[in-house]
């Protein structure tokens, strides 16, 4: 089978703004894949390109081998989307909304009615089937968006910020449901601002920034790129932080507590204790804290911002200054408007 999603040098331009910058990304069939990035990173533009709401400027994009433009119908029928924004017909009972959605994808009326009931039961709002969208609570509206995405029985489920603004209980309910769907074979593409969500659910994560792919890795691999902090409690307060070997990237002292930043806390801790004891320090306790995925995310995106800024500055300095203006780089607020 071809990959669930495959893009090669995908570009989308809005005038002078490049929302997607030669984005190459592969999501394998059956994966639970996370897409992380700040506002304006290009996540929603990427999704809209896959489902045909946005026409790409260049490059290639395929869903299960189908070109998203040349084979639009086949590609679109394979996808179920639960968008971030509420975009539901408010004039019909929600059961009819789901029946209409299934009908758009060629599902016969009898089967569409059965599917509507099944997905409403699965997301837990079957008892609200005869109510209109506006009468639902915020959490129920989120469940309905998921039900609408599932009513066509998609092979690829795209969740764009599915737990934004919901309470903790509903967030965990949705996590449990989408995990079950993935275990049943549905490929899932998740965009989220909740680092905990990506760490808990995803097999792999892509980090995007300003339309570019910064990196793709498993959550554990990403956390492995960070540094750990070993906090050592000392029996007495030293006058200053001790000099340690090159394994210590940074050493700080706060009272009788010594914090040492290292690459791999588990393997470095014995060496650190031996060094401290050799210098006459008495150890009271020790704690190792791993770098969080959130810290890695912030570090990578900030590093990417610095790299892009340097590259832009160097390009401008190499060219004719008379041809360079402020409009060469769109204002930040414009970039943030294209999610």
Per-residue pLDDT band at 324 (split at 50, 70, 90): very low
Q: CB of 36 within 8 A of CB of 297? A: yes
| Confidence label for 313 from pLDDT (cuts 50, 70 and 90) | very low
Q: How far apart are CA 46 and CA 57, in angstroms?
A: 12
Strand partners, 232: 258, 286
* Percent of residues in the chain assigned helix, strand, coil, to nearest 5: 40, 25, 35
Confidence of residue 37 (pLDDT cuts 50, 70, 90): confident
pLDDT at 307: 53
Mean pLDDT estimate for the chain: 86
Instruction: Give whichever of 94-98, 193-197, 239-243 has the largest mean pLDDT.
Output: 94-98
The pTM for the full model equals 0.75
Whether residues 161 and 235 fall in one domain: no
pLDDT of 303 reads: 64
In this predicted structure, what is the pLDDT of residue 85? 86
- The arithmetic mean of pLDDT across residues 155-161, rounded, is 95
Secondary structure element (H or E) that encloses residue 137, with its range: none
Quick one: which of 243, 287, 280, 246 has its CA closest to 263?
246
Task: Tally the domains of the chain.
Answer: 2
User: Residue 259 is part of which domain span?
Assistant: 227-289
CATH code at position 157: 3.40.50.300
pLDDT in tens, 114-125: 999 999 999 999
Q: Which residue has the tokens 């190499």?
A: 318
Rounded Cα distance, 20 and 47, in Å: 11
Cα 40 to Cα 43, 44, 45, 334: the distances in Å are 8, 9, 9, 8
The pLDDT value given to residue 305: 57
In a domain, 245, yes or no: yes
The Cα–Cα gap between 22 and 105 comes to 31
Of 81, 86, 83, the residue nearest 133 (C-alpha): 86
72 and 125 within one domain: yes
Residue 165 has pLDDT above 50, yes or no: yes
- Separation CA 264–CA 228 (nearest Å): 6
Examine the domain organization and report whether 106 and 121 are in the same domain: yes
> Residue 311: pLDDT above 60?
no
Q: What is the pLDDT of residue 160?
A: 92
């Amino acid at each position: 089978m071809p990959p669930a999603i495959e893009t090669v040098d995908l570009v989308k331009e809005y005038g002078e703004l490049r929302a997607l910058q030669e984005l190459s990304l592969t999501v394998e069939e059956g994966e639970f894949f996370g897409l992380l990035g700040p506002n304006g990173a290009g996540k929603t533009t990427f999704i809209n390109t896959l489902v045909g709401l946005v026409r790409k400027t260049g490059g290639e994009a395929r869903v299960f081998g189908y070109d998203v433009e040349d084979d639009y119908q086949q590609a679109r029928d394979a996808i179920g989307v639960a968008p971030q924004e509420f975009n539901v017909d408010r004039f019909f009972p929600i059961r009819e909304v789901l029946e209409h959605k299934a009908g758009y994808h060629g599902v016969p009326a009898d089967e569409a009615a059965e599917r509507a009931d099944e997905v409403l039961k699965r997301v837990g709002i079957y008892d609200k089937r005869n109510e209109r969208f506006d009468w639902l609570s915020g959490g129920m509206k989120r469940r309905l968006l998921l039900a609408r995405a599932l009513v066509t029985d998609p092979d690829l489920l795209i969740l764009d910020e599915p737990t934004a603004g919901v309470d903790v209980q509903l967030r965990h309910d949705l996590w449990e449901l989408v995990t079950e769907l993935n275990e049943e074979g549905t490929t899932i593409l998740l965009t989220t601002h909740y680092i905990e969500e990506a760490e808990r659910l995803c097999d792999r994560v892509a980090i995007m920034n300003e339309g570019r792919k910064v990196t793709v890795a498993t959550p554990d691999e990403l956390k492995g790129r960070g540094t750990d902090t070993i906090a050592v409690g000392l029996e007495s307060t030293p006058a200053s932080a001790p000099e340690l070997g090159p394994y210590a990237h940074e050493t700080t002292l706060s009272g009788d507590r010594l914090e040492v930043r290292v690459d791999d806390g588990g393997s470095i801790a014995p060496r650190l204790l031996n060094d401290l004891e050799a210098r006459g320090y008495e150890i009271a306790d020790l704690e190792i804290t791993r770098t969080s995925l959130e810290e890695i995310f912030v570090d990578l995106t900030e590093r990417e911002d610095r790299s892009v800024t340097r590259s832009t500055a160097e390009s401008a300095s190499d060219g004719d200054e008379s041809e360079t203006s402020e409009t060469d780089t769109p204002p930040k607020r414009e970039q943030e408007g294209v999610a």
